[in-house]
Amino acid sequence: MSGREDWWRGAVIYEIYVRSFQDADGNGIGDLAGVRARLPHVAELGADAIWLTPFYRSPMKDFGYDVSGFTEVDPMFGTDADFDALVEEAHALGLKVVIDLVLSHTSDQHPWFVESRSGREGPRADWYVWADAKPDGTAPNNWLSIFGGPAWEWDTTRQQYYMHNFLAAQPDLNFHNSEVQDAALGVARSWLERGVDGFRLDTVNFYFHDPELTDNPVLDPKLRNANTAPSENPYNWQDHLHDKTQPENLEFLKRLRALLDEFGGRATLGEVGESQRGKQVMADYTAGSDKLHMCYDFDFLAPDVPDAARVKEVIAGVQAAAGAGGGSWPCWAFSNHDTVRHPSRWKLDEPEQVRLMAALLLSLRGSVCLYQGEELGLGEAHLAYEDIRDPYGLRLWPQFKGRDGCRTPMPWEHAEPNAGFSDGKPWLPLAPEHVARAVDLQEGDPASILHAYRRLLAFRRAHPALSRGRLELEEAPDPVVAFTRSEANSRILCAFNLSNETRALRAPWAAHGLNGHGFAGRLIDGSLRLGPWDAYFGAEAPEAAAA
């Protein structure tokens, strides 16, 4: 896959939360040298690419998503030479390198913001979203921050408010200023020249705001799901029509795509934080060949348990938004560094459930993001309040405990101090239940979740229809999800029983069972028979079954 210009289409991208993957220098914080040392694990898993969370210079108020130097490696994570060596090693192992690009905002310590807040005149005075107070001194409008409270912070020097969609220490850039767009593209160009293969674009629909600063309307309480922010957060009480997802964003994305096309074989993955219109935004942002390559939203990162009906609804919704041509390209994820790990979020208590959901994820039309530790079946770690570091969790505790529970260190060797993550005290404690699922323990157990993921990734790679093909939902009674994946002359029937009871149903077409995936589902006399949390994969022709 790595030799194709469109390597990203159907790729499996392994997210590495750099702070928690591997610490090479013993300070308790993961670093680039540590990531490099553990790359063989990712290659052996069968992933096509890695996604590195931010490693740029930062005061770490939001652990790297508050950038104070876009083109500098923070000394906490290593040096420029460490990054270059990591890229070289990844490429030698056949892995593409995608880095997290945070463009919608900066740290309040970034030189751009320091200059912008110094006065209302000057070259960068308009580089951030500044607004006068209302006559009564209150904020310019009703916009809210995802991290809780108003999206406006008063600055005593300029005697104005500035906008922040996240922490007050993360002021939003003003993308209506063409110089800001040019600067953002300059940042991207510098990393492309360093050899990265693409960008995961943080909060890609947050770049532009309504310049009229129109109040957001109230959202119908029945629609206040918790996709973009936890349910405890009043952010969900508004319909965010004006503070993000503005039409001007499409033109900037075209400029960004044109830059990547100069280099060839590079890709973009956009994070769409949009609860009400996420599927349509994904489709709009990836339609054609002049905007983003891939997008993901929060359909399967939300708390809602994806029973069969929900899975079918999401698939059908994405297909409908893509249109008849199906030109847009989604990327799917069940876990990442911002959400409760999905085995805990969905109460997947048995290994069979975890394996079945992995098979479903890796069979959907689109690319896939796996989050470090997902291949071990890790659930959410439970931390004491005194161990919490996430500002989001500290603000909304105890109803919302933040994101630290999915960010604890990776367990490598169960008998080593700190499970082989670090010789020093880890920045977050390792969960004992994670140590019991360490990589070395699962390596020696052919029935482990780790081996299940390896089988599934190898199976996906062996059958291009699963990674690049079309998808057609088939009629199947709940709790079974069934669809056909097709590519060129190959068709594969995929069926999944999302229940703890054996199910039988008529097969939509005659298929011949495939091997190598680890599931026991059978097609006998035209009837699909699926055990509890079981799957079936069948090809159209007998010769394909031998592949």
DSSP-assigned beta bridge partners for residue 493: 484, 538
Residue 105 to residue 35: CA distance in whole angstroms: 26
Residue 194 to residue 488: CA distance in whole angstroms: 36
Is 262 annotated in the active site?
yes
Rg (CA), the chain: 23
Residue 330 to residue 332: CA distance in whole angstroms: 7
DSSP 126: T
Is 387 annotated in the active site?
no
Quick one: CA dihedral 412, 94, 336, 27, positive or negative?
Answer: positive
DSSP 142: -
Q: Judge whether 129 and 83 are in contact, CB under 8 Å.
A: no
In the block, which residue shows the tokens 């999206």?
A: 151
The one catalytic residue in 48, 62, 74, 202 is 202
Residue from 100, 88, 80 nearest 18 by CA: 100
Q: Judge whether 471 and 484 are in contact, CB under 8 Å.
A: yes
Cβ count near 263 (within 10 Å): 14
Q: Judge whether 57 and 111 are in contact, CB under 8 Å.
A: no
Helices 80-92, 32-45: inter-axial angle, 10-degree rounding: 10
**Secondary structure (3-state) at 499:** coil
- For residue 542, whether the previous peptide bond is cis, meaning omega lies within 30 degrees of 0, is no
DSSP-assigned beta bridge partners for residue 172: 105
404-421 core/surface letters (b: 16 or more CB in 10 A; e: else): bbbbbbbbbebeeebbbb
The one catalytic residue in 262, 386, 525, 543 is 262
Q: Which residues are catalytic?
A: 202, 262
